[in-house]
Amino acid sequence: MNTFTTNIQLVYILAAACFVVGLHLMNSPATARRGNQVSTAGMVIAVVVTLVLLIHEGTVTAVGWTVLIIGTLLGSVVGLYSARTVQMTAMPQLVSMFNAVGGGAAALVAVYGYIHDESAPGGVLGTTSVFTVLDVIIGSVTFTGSLIAAGKLQGVITGSPVMIKGGRAINLALAVVALGSAAFMLTTASLPALLLVVLASLAFGVLMVLPIGGADMPVVISLLNAFTGTAVAMAGFVINNWALIIAGALVGASGGILTKLMADAMNRSLGNIIVGGFGTGDNMIAAAVTGDVQIRSIAADDAAIQLAYASKVIIVPGYGLAAAQAQHGVAELAAMLESRGIEVSYAIHPVAGRMPGHMNVLLAEANVPYPQLKEMDEINPEFGRADVALVIGANDVTNPAARRQGTAISGMPILDVDQAKSIIVVKRSMGHGYAGIDNELYTNPKTSMYFADAKKAVAEMTAAVKTLVG
Amino acid sequence: MSTALVTDLTIFVLALLVGIEVIGKVPATLHTPLMSAANSIHGIVLVGALLIGLTAHNAVGYILAFVAAFFAAANVVGGYVVTGRMLKMFRRKPQVPAPAQAQLNGQTKEQPKEVQR
């Protein structure tokens, strides 16, 4: 390693350090923006030093410069446009798309490494490492898997699990083909083998995500995020670049942690989610209520009285709230209650949105101050002191049946909504959540059901509170 | 196993452990911006895409370089911009006092778009 390349590597390490510091600053909303700026600075440093290296080496052809510059500029424009215009509700799709292109780019780096080595004197023998083939496999699986996940989230592909007959056998066969050809590639230079690995991995990615239901998307996105990170780290091994290795490892760790958190929050194992089922889609099935169960229905006026004369209100938002675009209305209602000296906080279940932390972003966008957003462990002990728990668009995560054995959601961590002194549930019908079981909270004597669309209900309650307190 | 490979592996394992340590401290409130930030960080693959240019001298090489650079640039630019956009929304206090906020509802910059959906 001569002095020049050593210096380049040192600058890459500086960039990687910026990434670590940037992520570290994300441990509090107060410093998170600075964290993003530090991380951006690291990225600019890494890209600039790479350009310096390219110019110094002087081996990039005129066509080479042209394709690199046009490719980068076009990509930047597309990235910038989507980042500027995306709705916060569509955030999971965008993250999924970025996972796809990141994984795809990592796979292409390895593919080029392999093709390039093959054309070099002496061929590929001995120079193709296990990292090249891992990069190609993981990158390709991430690419198509993330595209399918984004399609499902966007509603282009059905959110319900798509079960293909013999799908598991096909998946197993694809895995065997990909790994077999990859092993062959390690010993023999073979373009067809590479092609086979790519195609089998791409198909595997599609078939892996198709059977997974909409409710499991937070886990899938996190997992694909971890995959992308791993693929990028592998690309770092292929081109022997520490910045890629460190950045990839950091993302892999982040994706892995979030995957585990999300799976735990649904009390499901990763294997269980990948195999499919349970996450049976976004369609609410209106179910007949059995005769002997008493349901108490409530109108806006009564709900307003309960809310306006409470001293502590906990709002429990679920994805239904975001789907109805009611987050701004809820924030307005909460602000009005607060101006009356009522203590308002939000109880946020880890899987309340379509990706980890999604609900927090949606509420932050609606101008809810972040100290009011409480995590499950923090808010659960407070339900006992709450006069009213207002459940909007959340279902399974509030079902006390999870505390008993033998139900579809047994063992799933839930919000202790039933501990509140009174409970108002805003819901369109008595339909089931993803788990497809009755919610015992609705038949609790303390519970009143407010049957309406979330946005309409919130507007009605706000108006009623306004009239009530003048 | 070559020395370079052992070094690379050491770096990988240590970075993984640092990642677990640092990211374990991020509160659930920030998990979406965290994932988005992680997304922008894996945009570092842009460096890998640019380095293809060093040795690319035929059509296949150019095409791979172009697509990889396009993908990676979209990843890195989009990732940082959207993370910044999200983090800007996290405020300790509402931007305007509560009563005024009720009147202003629907007039802030980002809201009209939401209503159309």
* pTM, 2 dp: 0.88
A392 forms beta bridges with A317, A426
Tell me how close the Cα of A164 comes to any Cα of chain B, in angstroms. 30
Nearest to A47 by CA among A73, A23, A25: A73
b (16+ CB within 10 A) / e for A140-166: bbbbbbbbbbbbbbeeebebbbbeeee
Q: Which residue of A has its CA nearest to B88?
A: A33
What's the token pair of residue A403? 């505390």
Residue with tokens 């010993």: A187
Cα A268 off chain centre by: 16
Which chain B residues are Cβ-neighbours of A72 within 8 angstroms?
A: 46, 50, 69-70, 72-73
SS3 content of chain B, % helix, strand, coil (to 5): 75, 0, 25
Domain that includes residue B50, residue range: 29-93
CB nearest to A325's CB, from B57, B83, B117: B117
- Summarised one tens digit per residue, pLDDT across range A5-27 is 889 999 999 999 999 999 999 99
CB nearest to B66's CB, from A67, A83, A357: A67
Please check whether residue A64 is in contact with residue A70, taking contact to mean a CB–CB distance below 8 angstroms.
no
Q: Is residue B59, in this structure, part of any structural domain at all? A: yes
Please give the mean pLDDT across all residues of chain A: 88
Alpha-carbon span A414 to A427, nearest angstrom: 18
Residues of chain B with pLDDT under 70: 1, 95-117
Query: Which position among A216, A396, A416, A438 bears the catalytic label?
Result: A396
Q: Strand pairing of A373-375 and A388-392? A: unpaired
- Cβ contact B74–A78 (<8 Å): yes
Compute the count of residue pairs across chains A and B with CB atoms less than 8 Å apart.
Answer: 415
CB nearest to B69's CB, from A68, A244, A355: A68
Phi, psi for A175 (deg, rounded to 5): -60, -45
Q: Is residue B82, in this structure, part of any structural domain at all? A: yes
Q: In this complex, is the C-beta atom of B51 within 8 Å of any C-beta atom belonging to chain A?
A: yes
What does the pLDDT read at residue A117? 62
Query: What amino acid is encoded at A66 in this protein?
Result: T
Which chain A residues are Cβ-neighbours of B25 within 8 angstroms?
A: 24, 27
Q: How many residues does chain A have?
A: 470
What does the pLDDT read at residue A289? 44
CB nearest to B44's CB, from A99, A240, A243: A243
What does the pLDDT read at residue A404? 86
Please check whether residue B69 is in contact with residue B49, taking contact to mean a CB–CB distance below 8 angstroms.
yes
Residues of chain A with pLDDT under 50: 121-126, 277-291
Sign of the dihedral through C-alpha A252, A258, A262, A264: positive
**Which residues, 6+ apart, have CB-to-CB distance to B12 below 8 Å?**
A233, A236, A237, A245, A246, A248, A249
Q: Is residue B110, in this structure, part of any structural domain at all? A: no
**Quick check: is A396 catalytic?**
yes
Which chain A residues are Cβ-neighbours of B29 within 8 angstroms?
A: 29, 348, 357, 360, 370, 373, 375
Q: Is residue B83, in this structure, part of any structural domain at all? A: yes
- Cβ contact B11–A254 (<8 Å): no
**Which residues, 6+ apart, have CB-to-CB distance to B115 below 8 Å?**
A325, B106
Q: How many residues does chain B have?
A: 117
Q: Is residue B109, in this structure, part of any structural domain at all? A: no
> For chain A, which domains are there?
3-275 (no CATH), 300-469 (3.40.50.1220)
Best mutation target among A45, A144, A220, A361 (most B Cβ atoms within 10 Å) is A361
Which A-chain residues 100-129 have CB contacts (< 8 A) with chain B?
101-102, 104-106, 108-109, 111-112, 115-116, 129
ipTM > 0.95?
Answer: no
Phi, psi for A317 (deg, rounded to 5): -90, 145
Sign of the dihedral through C-alpha A279, A285, A291, A293: positive
What does the pLDDT read at residue A278? 43
Alpha-carbon span B18 to A233, nearest angstrom: 15
Q: What is the DSSP letter of B44?
A: G
Q: In this complex, is the C-beta atom of A51 within 8 Å of any C-beta atom belonging to chain B?
A: yes
Q: Is residue B46, in this structure, part of any structural domain at all? A: yes
**How many domains would you assign to chain B?**
1
Sign of the dihedral through C-alpha A99, A151, B78, B33: negative
Q: Is residue B4, in this structure, part of any structural domain at all? A: no
Tell me how close the Cα of B86 comes to any Cα of chain A, in angstroms. 7
What does the pLDDT read at residue A348? 95
Q: Is residue B22, in this structure, part of any structural domain at all? A: no
What does the pLDDT read at residue A356? 92
